Amino acid sequence: MTPVLASIPVGLCWALVCSALLLAFCIASARIHWAGAAFGYLLFGGLVTFFWTLVVTWSPVLFWNWLLLFFVTIIAASMQWQAKRTLVFGLLATAAAYGITAVMFIPEYRERLALRAEYPQVSLVERLAYENRLPNIENTDHDEDSPAIFPTTYLSEIESKLVGEERNWGNNDFAQRHWSLPSLHRPALNDAHQGFVHEFISADGAGRMRVPRLPATRKSIEIPETVPIPIPKPSPKSEPTREQFARAKNNPPDLPIQKSELDQFHLQGMADFADPIGFGYVESLRNGKPPEKQILRVTGFQPHAFRKFPEPLTNSNKSVRWLIEKLELVSLLKHDTPRVYESKNLPRMDELSTAPTRPLDDFETAALARLRAGETLVVHQDHNDLRMLGPIVAINQCLECHSVQRGDLLGAFTYRLVRDPQLPALEGKAVSWLSR
């Protein structure tokens, strides 16, 4: 196919075909009595427009085309015009329909140009290049049918958490952004044609065959930027005396935190960090090509980051809280050996390039080995301190961008929490939980 033919939007071709059908029936109807012509054209033109709306999308250009040709049909039939004269006025009416639609589209076109400058298409190939050089990501001895390290039920639970994060925005807000971002950057066939004509015919409702999409307006795609969230220094209540800590026999001791509650704490943090509404729209053309020839672009992507500070961990009777002292991201992919990014803020992907790193400590090293074996959370309590290491795993929502498989271990969160209120000096017990 030549570049000229490839540059013609498919939607424009179909719109012109429908306009030609409407014009042909206008000329044919104009040769009978005006009442019959009006009825016949209304029926036929209405069916054409309704079919287009039902199968493709709502199209203002065809609506105006149908309406203006309806009046031409009545006038031509009433005044007994010749077919040539009807054709001339029909062509003028068709041109007017496309002109009216173009004028209506100008504000949307200008807004889209501004939004394109604010939300450019960004290549992910270079940003994610490290995934293609790591043996554990290529995973040559792990085919698509082999089971993931982590239980399928655990992966499904994470995916449900991300769906829950989407619902926190409201189904309408999430759906608007999800269906609007693809409308922002629409390359023509073979990227050979960009410009007002393509934008006009590709505009929502202007007659382009496509999956359902919404107009790319500022209201539909703009979401708040994530901001750094500092981790405040915990201030637990002062340590009670042994006398204050003593209780009557009929007064039960503080209930411990259940392993399931710790799991949910980590899963909720992982879902918030992933931030599904900030995924944007991904245009992926891998087609089995080598990394240097892949096309992987994203529009409206916000780097993964926490949007809110996690709620404190509490036991079932709310008598004890565990306050976050540190929450850090463990990198397993970007360095030769696992490293922990140090920050006074909750983890943010856009801070990693400047964040200092440290090696894993003894707890993290031992806990990471257990995560690699498939455990879903490793926890150790020592007196007033609580340490946890939780995995960040690849799920279905990750696969659109990342060259990984569902269930792959991508990283981890390392937690250090302090008890509130504090235990007396000799009351603490070291406890470790195995995976559930």
Highest mean pLDDT among 42-56, 60-74, 203-217: 60-74
User: Span 84-108, mean pLDDT?
Assistant: 87
Q: What does the H/E/C string look like for the chain?
A: CCHHHHCCCHHHHHHHHHHHHHHHHHHHHCCCCHHHHHHHHHHHHHHHHHHHHHHCCCCHHHHHHHHHHHHHHHHHHHCCCCHHHHHHHHHHHHHHHHHHHHHHHHHHHHHHHHHHHHCCEEECCCCCHHHHCCHHHHCCCCCCCCCCCCCHHHHHHHHHHHHHHHHHCCHHHHHHHHHHHHHHCCCCHHHCCCCHHHHHHHCCCCCCCCCCCCCCCHHHHCCCCCCCCECCCCCCCCCCCHHHHCCCCCCCCCCCCCHHHHHHHHHHHHHHHHCHHHCCEEEEECCCCCHHHCEEEEECCCCCECCCCCCCEECCCCCCEEEEEEEEEEECCCCCCCEEECCCECCEHHHCCCCCEEECCHHHHHHHHHHHCCCCCEEEEECCEEEEEEEEECCHHHCCCCCCCCCCEEEEEEEEEEEECCCCCCCCCCEEECCC
Model confidence pLDDT, tens digit, residues 364-397 = 999 999 999 999 999 998 878 999 999 999 998 8
The pLDDT-based confidence of 322 (bands split at 50, 70, 90) is: very high
**Residue with more model confidence, 177 or 166:** 177
pLDDT attached to residue 353: 85
Residue 363 has pLDDT above 60, yes or no: yes
User: Span 317-330, mean pLDDT?
Assistant: 91
User: Span 167-175, mean pLDDT?
Assistant: 57
pTM of the full predicted structure? 0.67
Residue 230 has pLDDT above 90, yes or no: yes
Model confidence pLDDT, tens digit, residues 265-287 = 999 999 999 888 788 777 765 55
Residue 244 has pLDDT above 60, yes or no: no
**Residue with more model confidence, 79 or 417:** 417
pLDDT attached to residue 309: 94
**Residue with more model confidence, 52 or 245:** 52
pLDDT attached to residue 413: 97
Among 7-21, 96-110, 151-165, the minimum mean pLDDT is found in 7-21
pLDDT attached to residue 337: 92
pLDDT attached to residue 265: 94
Among 16-30, 129-143, 245-259, the minimum mean pLDDT is found in 129-143
Share of the chain above pLDDT 70, in %: 67
* Mean pLDDT score of the chain: 75
User: Span 315-342, mean pLDDT?
Assistant: 90
pLDDT attached to residue 205: 44
User: Span 93-122, mean pLDDT?
Assistant: 83
